[in-house]
Structure 1
Amino acid sequence: MGWAEIRHPFHPRRGQRFAVLKARYVAGVDTLILRDDGERLSFAIAREWTDLAAPNPSQRVDGSTARLDLGSLCDLVALLEILAARSCGGLVK
């Protein structure tokens, strides 16, 4: 099934690649069963902790999570005021 690299920042095996034996859902979590040839064992890990995770639309290229800043919130308020004025015939509270 290929290979997976552990990407979770606090996992002790972060940065290591393992062969994927199978994928399954365990208690509703998309899980990969990986093989560690060095220790001759297999272990389970959440897919989202690996490089095989589905892309996160709120994550930036550098890995940080996108958040609204003050400028974006002020722009949103201004837009809502304009839309409210249009729907109320020009009356804004």
Structure 2
Amino acid sequence: MVVTHPFHPLRGEELPVLFSARMKGVLVFVCESDGGKRRVSLPQSWTDRGPEAMPDRFAVDGLTAARALVDALASRLSDDTEDAR
């Protein structure tokens, strides 16, 4: 199994799978690392056995929701500052 998560330190490495298990409804692979010195648990989605990675990191819906949250927080902060005067 190959680690595919873009920010995982073992990205691109092929690891032997010792076993798999479901944790909180997610399929997880327990693998050997460092020549058998360590065990690493990886969700299926972080491996070549998971769904194909999306090329874009941010979706429009997520960015829109984040902007709405920032605007609401900024408005609240502005209201609190005016009340303090």
Same fold (TM over 0.5): yes
The 5 A counterparts of 1:53-72 are 53=50, 55-56=51-52, 63-64=54-55
Q: Which runs of 4+ in 1 moved over 6 A?
A: none
Aligned match of 2:16 in 6, 14, 19?
Answer: 19
Give the number of equivalent residue pairs.
57
Higher relative contact order (CA 8 A, sep 6+): 2
Q: Which has the higher strand share?
A: 1
Unaligned runs of 5+ in 1: 68-93
Q: Distance in 2 between matches of 1:52 and 1:38?
A: 21
Unaligned runs of 5+ in 2: 60-85
TM-score where L is the length of structure 2: 0.57
TM-score where L is the length of structure 1: 0.52
SS of residue paired to 2:20: strand
Q: Which has the higher helix share?
A: 2
Structure possessing the higher radius of gyration over alpha carbons: 1
Q: Distance in 2 between matches of 1:19 and 1:39?
A: 9
